[in-house]
Amino acid sequence: MRIVIFGAPGVGKGTQAKIIATKLGIPHISTGDILRNAIKNETRLGLEAKKIVEAGNLVPDDIMAGIVKDALSDKLCQNGFILDGYPRTLDQAKLLDNIMQQLEPDNEYYIAIEVNDEEIVRRLTNRLTCKVCGSIFNISDLNDTTICPKCNGVNSFYKRKDDDEGVIRNRLLVFHSTTQPVLDYYGKQNKMIFVDGSLPVDKVAENVLSKLGV
């Protein structure tokens, strides 16, 4: 199964993608995670992308094309994948169409998670991520912010640089101006499955899996 998960910043793409990837035994490909790793490791890509990502703007399409082609051609993706964070522009959607056309037909699903902007700002200003296991939390769900309840990592939580309120609001502007047309593009082809992301995490996951028929 090849799944593409869409939605504004903070709707829960990463949270849901991890649940679906585990359930279906397919890799979770997050273009944001790939960029953040490159930034952390100070690779050429990371040095090029750092300022753009930390300001909440989009990395140019030609750079993203190389990243997505590399990631999806990995043999780990042979039996499917869940793609999170790509496509975000119409040109990116057209490139993904080309990639999908070369793969087994009728096995692709496009899911859009929807949450209102003020809830998104509340979620992202309170997000913590574990640098050991990658689990994503909200501060209000943690009894102790020094130990990760998933992997027991000590002092392993970090706050993303783009989770500053001003940057979050810019990311939302970029989403509405540039990425919303991509959702409309798939919507017009009746390909998009819409899911209410304002429900609790487990309920959203249940609804997504049921719409996928698994």
- Is residue 14 involved in binding Mg ion (CB under 5 A)? yes
| Nearer residue to Mg ion within complex by CB, 14 or 27 | 14
| Nearer residue to ligand AP5 within complex by CB, 106 or 171 | 171
Q: Which residues pair with 127 in a beta bridge?
A: 138
CB of residue 21 to ligand AP5, shortest distance in Å: 13
Instruction: Give the one entry of Mg ion, ligand AP5, none that residue 204 binds, where binding means its C-beta sits below a cut-off of 5 to 8 angstroms depending on kind.
Output: ligand AP5
Instruction: Give the one entry of ligand AP5, Mg ion, none that residue 27 binds, where binding means its C-beta sits below a cut-off of 5 to 8 angstroms depending on kind.
Output: none
Q: Are 17 and 208 in contact, with CB atoms under 8 Å apart? A: no
CB neighbourhood size of 3 (10 A)? 24
Give the dihedral sign, CA 209/89/134/160: negative
- Is residue 197 involved in binding Mg ion (CB under 5 A)? no
Q: Which parts of this chain interact with ligand AP5 (CB under 6 A)?
A: 7, 9-15, 31-32, 35, 52-53, 56-59, 64, 85-86, 88, 92, 123-124, 127, 136-138, 162, 171, 197, 200-201, 204
CB neighbourhood size of 122 (10 A)? 15
CA–CA distance, 117 with 11 (Å, rounded to integer): 9
CB of residue 168 to ligand AP5, shortest distance in Å: 8
Stretch of residues binding Mg ion (CB under 5 A), selected from 9-17, 53-61, 111-119, 177-185: 9-17
Asked about 171 being catalytic, the answer comes back as yes
Query: Contact residues for Mg ion (CB under 5 A)?
Result: 14
> Which residues have a catalytic role annotated?
13, 88, 127, 160, 171
